[in-house]
Structure 1
Amino acid sequence: MYDLLSIDADKFNNPCYIEQRVALAEEKLRGSLRTCLAYLYKDDGPVNLPRKRLLDARPYLEPAELVLVQWLYTRTNGKLRKTYGAESLKAARAARYRCSVCRFADVRVLNLDHVHGKVQGTPFACLCANCHAIKSRQFDWMQPVDPQTETQSASNNLADFPQ
């Protein structure tokens, strides 16, 4: 069985935790690690991550952080930036890197649902692979399309998703 790769919620918005981690890094790389940890853990942290800082910080990141930073980097800095952007990072942070429906915490299975998200102020919801698949099949695939409006007749809101 695989070990759970999750993020402890106590790390969020915790400047003491960030500074303790930064103190362990080589002095010339501390700024990069501080930026990377702020990107992951501060609600008002940076919404993109310069590549050089990401590369400098990688040796000091925990396994769950490595998975997250690669997953989020492509959405805030990479080729998926136009589709996702800063709002996706904000939604994932707000969910504390847990599924918004079942609260499963393994970061390897997280998805950003970009259809009628649940996180206030963002069009995204952070869902585990199972909840995302169930939601997609239940709301996106199974609802009849109204030929007049070419929209689904039933709600496509995560608030209506069975908990």
Structure 2
Amino acid sequence: MGKVCWQRPIHLFPNLGSQEALELYGIYQLGREDVLSFHNRPMRHPHHSASGVSLLGGGTYPKPGEISLAHHGILFLDEMAEFSKKTLDMLRQPLENGRITISRAKQTVTYPAEFTLIAAMNPCPCGYDGSSRRYFVCTPKQKAAYKQKISGPILD
């Protein structure tokens, strides 16, 4: 019988430092989220139907959203063009500042949000533009409208 060799998975980023892990633990406690590891950087991947509040944070008693839960890690937006344009545009400020401020009538809170944004989307709504196996059915107008959902600053 052969030996079983457990190898550490290859990561793009180094493990969290102790100060980063402590900061992230505090964010997860505020959000009432389970911490999977104190060493690995988080990777969050919200569904494209996620609301602005779930992505950015908020609520009656503001709690951290996906961008803060991805602090020191990766926020992966699959099917990026399927997210609402308004929600995507709300990511601009946190991407620039590394934090999100949520204001409510009784309080204002600021959460850290330094994350790497990785996004993927199809070239058009049907997903077959350029395919040699499937028939491309989108009109030029549909294709343009699909791409216009992503604003220039987010693409930059």
TM-score class normalised by the smaller sequence: under 0.3
User: Which has the bigger relative contact order, CA under 8 A and spacing at least 6?
Assistant: 2
Q: Please identify which structure carries the higher helix content.
A: 1
TM-score, length basis structure 1: 0.23
Larger radius of gyration: 2
TM-score, length basis structure 2: 0.23
